[in-house]
Amino acid sequence: MATNTSQEFDAVIAVCKSLFLKKTKDYGTAWRILRPASITDQIFIKAQRIRTLEEKKVSKVGEDINSEYIGIINYCVIAMMQLELNEQDPLEMELATVQARYEEKVQETKELMFNKNHDYGEAWRDMRISSLTDLILMKILRVKQIEDNEGQTLASEGVNANYQDMLNYSVFALIKLGVQ
């Protein structure tokens, strides 16, 4: 069966973006109050829950792994948007502005994914979903360390690149789980 990564990516993102925009209509841009470390911790909570569900196979709150990966994607987009905004920018943003920024961050991340897929030959297709979860957790720990070091790195990518990788790993997991 032939695969079309671009179409699969777009289908997953359409699900995530739809939920994000609905929540933006419900709640506004309340997420603007979050500091970078708080966003990272939200992603950590979601990834840790996925790992727990992968190991225990039972959910007591009724939300499945798919919804957690969707949450990771949306929090990664929030993080990337927040990195460009500052405290002087308004907390409340127009829906059209949020949507445009969301699409911009996703497009940048998709382009990175294609560049990496070129070099890695879509190796993610042969990976276990649990490995993608572990990679997300590792990236979170890296971001936490960079945040603890006040953004200073000696030889590493910055936090934005790590958020992009987490977003892409989550998309890969959702593609493998059949979300579209």
Q: What pLDDT, in 10s, does the model give residues 1-52? A: 346 999 999 999 999 999 999 999 999 999 999 999 999 999 999 999 999 9
Q: How many domains does the chain have?
A: 1
Q: What's the per-residue H, E or C state across 16-59?
A: HHHHHHHHHHHHCCHHHHCCHHHHHHHHHHHHHHHHHHHHHCCC
CB 80 within 8 A of CB 102: no
Asked if 20 contacts 74 with a C-beta cutoff of 8 angstroms, the reply is yes
pLDDT of residue 154: 78
Domain carrying residue 23: 5-176
Q: What is the DSSP code string of 95-158?
A: HHHHHHHHHHHHHHHHHHHHHHHHHHTSGGGGS-HHHHHHHHHHHHHHHHHHHHTTT--SSS--
Low-confidence ranges of the chain (pLDDT < 70): 1-3, 58-62
Q: How far apart (Å, rounded) are the C-alpha atoms in residues 43 and 135?
A: 13
